[in-house]
Amino acid sequence: MAVRQVITWGDPRLKNKNRDVEDWTPELDQLVADMFETTASQEGAGLAAPQVGINIRLAVVDVSSGADPAQKVVLINPEIIREEGEQIGEEGCLSIPGFTEVLKRPMKVWIKNRKPNGDWEELEAEELRARAFCHEIDHLHGRLFVEHLGPVKRNIIQRKYQKQRRD
Ligand code: NI
């Protein structure tokens, strides 16, 4: 396993179109292992393949940041099929290091997800894991969490972020 370099806000690969995962390969097993390792190394809750520069519809979620193997979820070509309620809480992203914002998300989501063997499954998540699912699925649509903010707030963050990168 290896920690991969995470690309950051402004890199065009975060906005590229991501293609569906088709055949599952040993390289994808390796990529998934590396993505979990990278998430844990930065104390994140998940990571999407485009964040390591690979434009496919694959993401990992681990709300324990590496502490509990039972928390690991691999999202492959995931789609939200239902959502319920709402939660308001702080959210951050490994591609926008050092910044968090308070964001509204559904309290509960149901997801249609492909398994590595090609079968489909339905996953249910609430609270922190539901937030992480929504955040990672956004990445697979080329969307960062700051795009949920109003334009004024987003501009302030963008300016602060660019200043921080220059310093
Ligand atoms: Ni993110």
Distance 56 CA to ligand 1 centre (A): 15
Whether residue 79 lies in the annotated active site: no
CA of 9 relative to ligand 1 center, distance in Å: 10
Give the pLDDT confidence score for residue 114 in this predicted structure. Answer: 97
Q: In whole angstroms, how far apart are CA 58 and each of 92, 121, 157?
A: 19, 15, 27
Distance from Cα 161 to the centre of ligand 1, integer Å: 15
Give the Å distance between the CA of 18 and the centre of ligand 1: 15
Q: 144-147 long-range CB contacts below 8 Å, 24 or more apart?
A: 144/9, 144/14, 144/93, 144/95, 144/96, 145/91, 145/92, 145/93, 145/96, 145/101, 145/103, 146/9, 146/93, 146/96, 146/99, 146/101
Any idea which fold 12-166 has? Peptide Deformylase (3.90.45)
Helical H segments across the chain, by residue range: 26-41, 127-140, 151-166
- Residue 118 has a pLDDT of 94
**pLDDT digit string, tens, across residues 8-19:** 999 999 999 999
Model confidence pLDDT, tens digit, residues 120-165: 999 999 999 999 999 999 999 999 999 999 999 999 999 999 898 8
pLDDT of residue 167: 83
**How much is the pLDDT for 43?**
93
pTM of this structure: 0.96
What is the predicted pLDDT for the residue at 1?
Answer: 76
Task: Please report the pLDDT score of residue 165 as a whole number.
Answer: 84
Residues whose Cβ atom is located within 5 A of ion ligand 1: 93
Select which of 43, 90, 127, 136 is catalytic.
Answer: 136
CA of 4 to the centre of ligand 1 (A): 15
Q: Report percent pLDDT > 70 for the chain.
A: 100
